[in-house]
């Protein structure tokens, strides 16, 4: 119930407007968001790098409705790549296609993202295309495939809660795509997605095995100890070295587990969001773990 309510709230522009004006929510966001500027984000990444983590940077924002906003996001990503390069930070970038204009025009979106992929290629860096809600799955995959046919330095995300994902992975592996596997963060109907955690988890493990056996470098993105354990166990049984894949987790979430994996000799990439548009991102994190709401309440009493 709480999860559904929070996911609903994540999509309400009026609530977004209100929350973003409240100092309390801004302070809460800082637990999960590295800052509002690229400089703050790269500083946070440098600290993570010092502790042995690599990173992927995400300029927050989605569902832009004007070409100008799409262009603004594109330019921000170009600047982010420049800053990463300038500071020699160990970080690639993750982006959402609706922030690049997907709800306006597919060709324009593709052209915007191509500029980012090209800049990343100049720096020997990499671009990850995040996966959004199901209305965008086909177009996201279409744009990704056309980019992947031209460039090596672009990867994609798939969601284990969707029934279609095993087939999508099969197609993506034919293009030798680098894939991030996550469970999926959006509100989806039972006609297309598993609703029970146990079913998503079972599918996640099955898909993880397909990815690890493919011989391509993939990202296993989860904070779930059971998924992590299953991945470690499978890699060991199949003699897949720690360098052949990476775990990925979100900034500020399960920092204990993040450090533990590094100490055990695994690779771990932290997804570092920054920017002013933190509302939807924060609400999805709350929905994943309503216990995070206690964190909000605690901040409230701190005054």
Q: Is residue 168 annotated as a catalytic residue, yes or no? A: no
Could you tell me which of 262, 284, 261, 263 has the C-alpha nearest to residue 273? 284
What is the DSSP secondary-structure string of 269-297? EEEEEESS--HHHHHHHHHH-TTHHHHHH
Q: C-beta of 84: minimal distance to ligand FDA in Å?
A: 17
Residue where the block lists tokens 């963060």: 185
* Residue 166 or 288 with smaller CB distance to ligand FDA: 288
Q: Which residue in the set 140, 159, 203, 258 belongs to the binding site for ligand FDA (CB under 6 A)? A: 159
Q: Which of 58, 130, 168, 201 is catalytic?
A: 130
Q: C-beta of 289: minimal distance to ligand FDA in Å?
A: 4
Report if residue 289 touches ligand FDA, rule: CB under 6 A. Answer: yes
Q: Which residue in the set 59, 186, 194, 278 belongs to the binding site for ligand FDA (CB under 6 A)? A: 186
- Which two three-digit tokens encode residue 244? 């052949």
Q: Site map for ligand FDA, 27-66, x if CB under 6 A? A: ----------------------------------------
Q: Is residue 130 annotated as a catalytic residue, yes or no? A: yes
Report if residue 168 touches ligand FDA, rule: CB under 6 A. Answer: no
Q: Site map for ligand FDA, 225-244, x if CB under 6 A? A: --x-----------------
Report if residue 157 touches ligand FDA, rule: CB under 6 A. Answer: yes
Could you tell me which of 90, 99, 96 has the C-alpha nearest to residue 56? 90
Residues tagged active-site: 130, 180
């Amino acid at each position: 119930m709480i999860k559904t309510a929070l996911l609903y709230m994540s999509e309400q522009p009026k609530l977004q407007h209100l929350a973003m004006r409240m100092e309390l929510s801004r302070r809460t966001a800082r637990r999960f968001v590295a800052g509002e500027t690229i400089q703050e984000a790269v500083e946070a990444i440098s600290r993570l790098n010092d502790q042995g983590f690599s990173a992927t940077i995400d300029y927050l924002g989605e569902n832009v409705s004007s070409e100008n906003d799409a262009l603004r996001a594109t330019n921000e990503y170009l600047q982010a790549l420049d800053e990463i390069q300038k500071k020699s930070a160990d970080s690639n970038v993750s982006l959402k296609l609706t922030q690049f204009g997907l709800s306006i025009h597919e060709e324009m979106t593709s052209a915007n993202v191509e500029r980012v992929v090209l800049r990343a290629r100049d720096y020997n860096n990499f671009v990850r295309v995040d996966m959004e809600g199901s209305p965008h799955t086909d177009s996201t995959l279409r744009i990704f495939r056309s980019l992947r046919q031209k460039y090596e330095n672009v990867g994609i995300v798939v969601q284990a809660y969707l029934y279609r994902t095993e087939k999508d992975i099969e197609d993506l592996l034919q293009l030798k795509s680098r894939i991030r596997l996550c469970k999926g963060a959006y509100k989806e109907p039972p006609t297309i997605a598993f609703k029970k955690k146990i079913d998503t988890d079972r599918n996640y493990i099955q898909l993880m095995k397909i990815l690890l056996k493919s011989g391509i470098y993939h990202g296993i993105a989860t904070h779930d100890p059971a998924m992590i354990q299953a991945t470690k166990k499978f890699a060991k049984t199949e003699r897949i070295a720690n360098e052949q894949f990476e775990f990925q987790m979100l900034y500020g979430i399960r920092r204990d587990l993040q450090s533990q994996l590094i100490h055990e000799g695994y690779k771990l990439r932290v997804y570092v969001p920054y920017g002013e548009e933190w509302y939807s991102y924060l609400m999805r994190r709350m929905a994943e773990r309503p216990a995070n709401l206690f964190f909000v309440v605690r901040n409230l009493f701190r005054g």
